[in-house]
Structure 1
């Protein structure tokens, strides 16, 4: 099968969508391992890169000319999506894929425009008719969900919401990553028979229980994972430390999160727990340093992810579970599906530091349950969330969209039937 995966320009991506773009690369690699011909398409942002790059194992990355070959401001990106659609159509005239899978709404708009151009040019040209290229869509986030968030609404969000609704009705299939996404799509008017639920995956070769752990000095270590934002619930975790003496908290952030880190540090100091909260540089634990993040996760007694608004990603929760570390989460977003309460981890109410502290004390004070959650979590991830399983589920979605090709019947068989 010839598969085209389309990614939005990086300038258009939120932090959560950049994580989804990383998932796209993992999915591409897993599909290639299964024997498919996979090409990832996106807009060129630097002039000095080759038009095509070979990504291991067996995935081709193709940069397309769509606007200036440089990073642009977010406000400049949307007008470039038309040019990206044109570039995709030109590429697919030369090398037609069997199926197109777009990641994020911007990529979906460009891919849908390209598929439409190819259909229209075939009709105008009067050449041999071909079946339309099937379009599969995965949304990294939703404009409507962002609109419901507290705080200032970004300009252009209303237009984005309208475009997402149109895209959801245009795509042949929408792949949702969680039950929350399924409900969001239903609110957008998407027919449920066109939605397929396939969760995000995790790299089981990188994240597993049987590896070294980062050294530590504190007797008990908590690690908070998730997006660094006022909606992430980190204030709740920091406040819970008042009921968890001798426990240190590690939070991984990046340079883009400096303002939020400063706010949280001031809050921790005000609560008298500042000396027990440490913020780590995300660059030190990125995918380019393969063993660093698993070592950090294995060093934790528990991993906490307690956002109070969703839908959110469960990537960090999956990685922790894969490493055999018990998790404590709020039932928000994908974590609701990933963590089975009382079996592979604990669900706690959002924005209740007293409840969170009680749950963590109870978990850490029961070694049998602590071990059981870790083992059950690792087993659940291995059986359901490995990229090989996710790719196989995605492959089945693609296959159902392809036209049935009948093998030619031999004359001998026809004669046999006639007799």
Structure 2
């Protein structure tokens, strides 16, 4: 009998950033995260075989060189920001007892991912002791109806195409709007006339649908696609879902009204964050990425990722959107709890109903709460999205997700000396 050494992959930080790192399985093949995405890069190109023979030339021992190394990756992730994000998401999990949660921080100018976390999570040192569902990187694998965060599309289209300004007025006094026999209501009835800026500030469904009906649906569709909805962002992590946008030919009146307020479309948290990053960075759609550099075992730089971005919005459109989104985080808006003293925040809340799988109808007690924002608003250091699935008790994005944004952002800005 003989004991043979076997290499072991160790993750010193345990569950920290588990959905980014992933883990390896049998024969050290990557199964999740960057371990899977960059498996061929991380694996050695060849193996040195150690062979021992007896005096008659017979092989008595053979093994691979255990010191053989593959390439090394340098990530965009900031460990301190990752830890802050995970700690605050854990607090939210304890407070709201949701089914799941996701949060992402990103550099809006380059697309560098600074931190991603999901709950439930797992320890990559012992992944098979957790349910497989806990391995999912929900930030990119789980699409959902985004609700009011999607109102950005209608506002962008109207401003960019010159169909409205922030001061254009809409009659929202009834508290509802009827489209092809279906009534759409505001969560709270607003008195009288609302400007476009106030529609965003108060997250008015009635106002947003009125706004969308001022434009041809092909224009709205154009901006959905321009923001990248319905297609993968191109992030270098496995399992990204493209989301789902209905084809233009199937967008009838009721579908169009629902789309304008974030129903009838499926997005990932990362897709929503990238859209708001476009506003934050001056109008450029960026490709998110995780791996910054790749080095050979002897320390040579093999690859450095070049940020990819495309200008899609006019400067005037960006300025108007920032002005409107800033009012959301105010006493008159829906996200006062995201406000940070000394560092102005701009963003948008979202509260969307989930479909009850038994009835096929929207549930009356199952919601997704979201807040997505940028800080400081004039020159954002990062954009961040917080998504809480099925919180217990309160469920509005401004009550559940916005406080998490604030808690993370306050700590992150202190760390960044902002």
Report the TM-score, using the length of structure 1 for normalisation: 0.25
Higher relative contact order (CA 8 A, sep 6+): 2
Which structure features the higher share of strand residues?
A: 2
Which structure features the higher share of helix residues?
A: 1
